[in-house]
Structure 1
Amino acid sequence: MRAAQDRQSKYANVRRRSLSFEQGDRVFLKISPFRGTVRSGKRGKLSPRYIGPYEILERIGDLANRLALPPALSSIYDEFHVSMLKKYQPDPSHVLQPDETELDETLSYFERPIKIMDRKDKQLRNKSIPLVKVQWSRHGVEETTWELEQDTRKKYPEIFV
Structure 2
Amino acid sequence: MVQKTSEAVEKIQAIMLTSQSRQKSYADPKHKDMKFQVGDHVFLQVSPLPGVGRLALPPLMLGVHDVVHVFVLRKYVSDTTHVLKYEDLELQTDLSYEERPVHILDQKE
- Using the size of structure 1 for normalisation, the TM-score is 0.38
Change (3 A) 1:88 1:96: same
- Distance in 2, matches of 1:80 and 1:32, equals 12
Q: Deviations along 1:31-84, whole A, 9 cap, x unmatched?
A: 44457xxxxxxxxxxxxxx87xxxxxxxxxxxxxxx5x2xx6232443221133
Flag structure 1 segments of 5+ consecutive residues without an equivalent. Answer: 36-49, 52-66, 114-136, 145-161
Q: For 1:140, which of 91, 104, 107 is the aligned residue?
A: 104
Q: For 2:39, which of 9, 15, 24 is the aligned residue?
A: 24
Query: Is the helix fraction higher in 1 or 2?
Result: 2
CA RMSD of aligned residues (A): 3.6
Amino acid at match of 1:85: L
Larger Cα Rg: Structure 1 or Structure 2? Answer: 2
- Distance in 2, matches of 1:21 and 1:102, equals 30
Change (3 A) 1:109 1:20: farther
Regions of 4+ moved over 6 Å: none
Amino acid at match of 1:27: V
Q: Deviations along 1:141-160, whole A, 9 cap, x unmatched?
A: 33x8xxxxxxxxxxxxxxxx
Shift of residue 103, structure 1, vs aligned partner: 8.4
Q: For 1:81, which of 43, 55, 69 is the aligned residue?
A: 69
* Correspondence for 2:29: 14
Change (3 A) 1:32 1:5: closer
Query: Is the strand fraction higher in 1 or 2?
Result: 1
- Aligned-pair identity in percent equals 31
How many matched pairs? 85
- Using the size of structure 2 for normalisation, the TM-score is 0.51
Q: Is the 8 A contact 1:28 1:86 kept in 2?
A: yes
* Correspondence for 2:89: 102
Shift of residue 110, structure 1, vs aligned partner: 5.2
